């Protein structure tokens, strides 16, 4: 089966600074790929290039066998993302924000779909609340709801459980695994919680100074670096850099 995401020699330079340096990876259908690395490793820039927000200096990004630059609209209608570092319009209620997102992606039967997602993410108590009044945990759930609302085939998640309490974070991870199983969703996942990365990811790629320095399952990576667990690998690589 053809990988659903194919990234080849992806490079991004900002002047003299190389943020991403010849990164290549693939994501298969239904696979969760973890993207790990210390701050400044190039994770966010890679995300932004995959979402078409930043133009690569070199390399190619293909999704569903098509080039992102050439088929942006078609590809992005089947992709969504969530990040702790973005927000949604504050003067709209959570439900209004979901409605706008649904319309933007051309969803039909919007009301039913919003009801489903609100229930899944336990958002009933704040669905009619203004976004500016949401707690950071509720905000994270809202951006996650926006991401799964549109029934994407690929999901890019940048620290999706940051600022959630352990109970909700556990439920969100269970939900993502469930959506992955039932819809064959492919996910690119970042987190600074190493246990979460081990739990969620089928494979992990480790970025450092814009380059892939290791890839494989969590176990393969820890064995390769002779460490106890992923957290120790992270500390070793981060301190070396």
Partner 1 sequence: MMKFHRIHALITRHLFLYKRSLPRLMEIFYWPFLDLVVWGFITVYLMKFQGQLPGVVTFFLGALILWDVLFRAQQGITISFLEEIWSRNLMNLFASPLKPSEFLAATMALSVFKVAMVSCVMVAAAYFFYSYNVFMIGLSLVPFVLNLIITGWIIGVLTTSLIMRFGQEAEVLAWGMVFLFQPISCVFYPIEILPKWLQAIAWANPATHVFEGMRGVLSGGSLPVAHLGWATGLNLLYLATIIGVFHWTFNICKEKGLLVRVGE
Find the shortest distance in angstroms from Cβ 215 to partner 1: 25
Find the shortest distance in angstroms from Cβ 98 to partner 1: 11
* Choice between 71 and 170, CB closer to partner 1: 71
Find the shortest distance in angstroms from Cβ 48 to partner 1: 5
Q: Which residues of 15-51 are buried (b: 16+ CB within 10 A; e: fewer)?
A: eeebbbbebebebeebbbbbbbbbeebbbbbbbbbbb
Q: Which residues of 86-95 are buried (b: 16+ CB within 10 A; e: fewer)?
A: eebeeeebbb
Token representation of residue 157: 């998640």
* Sign of the alpha-carbon dihedral angle for 181, 8, 63, 147: positive
Beta strands 186-190; 154-158: pairing state: parallel
Beta strands 203-208; 32-36: pairing state: parallel
* Choice between 32 and 147, CB closer to partner 1: 147
Q: Residue 196: exposed, middle, or buried by beta-carbon count in 10 A (0-12, 13-18, 19+)?
A: buried
* Choice between 186 and 215, CB closer to partner 1: 186
**What is the contact surface with partner 1 in residues (CB under 8 A)?**
12, 14, 45, 48, 51-55, 72-74, 76-77, 79, 81, 83, 86-92, 96, 99-101, 103-106, 130, 146
Strand order in the sheet with 17-27: 17-27, 5-14, 58-63, 66-67
Find the shortest distance in angstroms from Cβ 53 to partner 1: 5
* Choice between 38 and 56, CB closer to partner 1: 56
Find the shortest distance in angstroms from Cβ 221 to partner 1: 29
* Choice between 24 and 87, CB closer to partner 1: 87
Find the shortest distance in angstroms from Cβ 130 to partner 1: 8
* Sign of the alpha-carbon dihedral angle for 186, 141, 46, 225: negative
* Choice between 25 and 156, CB closer to partner 1: 156
Phi, psi of 163 (to 5 degrees): 70, 15
């Amino acid at each position: 089966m053809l990988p659903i995401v194919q990234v080849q020699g992806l490079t991004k330079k900002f002047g003299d600074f190389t943020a991403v340096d010849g990164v290549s990876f693939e994501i298969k259908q239904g696979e969760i790929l973890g993207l790990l690395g210390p701050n400044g490793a190039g994770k966010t820039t890679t995300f932004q290039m995959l979402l078409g927000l930043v133009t690569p200096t070199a390399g190619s990004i293909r999704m569903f066998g098509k080039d992102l630059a050439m088929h942006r609209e078609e590809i992005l209608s089947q992709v969504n993302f969530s990040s702790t570092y973005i927000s949604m319009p504050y003067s709209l209620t959570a439900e209004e924000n979901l409605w706008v997102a649904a319309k933007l992606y051309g969803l039909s039967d919007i009301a039913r779909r919003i009801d489903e997602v609100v229930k899944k993410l336990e958002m009933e108590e704040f669905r009619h609340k203004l976004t500016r009044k949401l707690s950071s945990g509720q905000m994270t759930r809202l951006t996650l709801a926006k991401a799964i609302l549109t029934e994407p085939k690929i999901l890019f998640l940048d620290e999706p459980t940051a600022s959630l309490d352990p109970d909700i974070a556990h439920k969100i991870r269970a939900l993502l695994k469930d959506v992955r199983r039932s819809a064959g969703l492919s996910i690119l996942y970042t987190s600074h919680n190493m246990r979460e990365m081990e739990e969620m990811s089928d494979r992990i790629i480790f970025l450092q100074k814009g380059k892939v320095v290791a890839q494989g399952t969590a176990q393969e990576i820890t064995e390769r670096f002779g460490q106890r667990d992923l957290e120790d690998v992270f500390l070793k690589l981060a301190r070396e850099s």
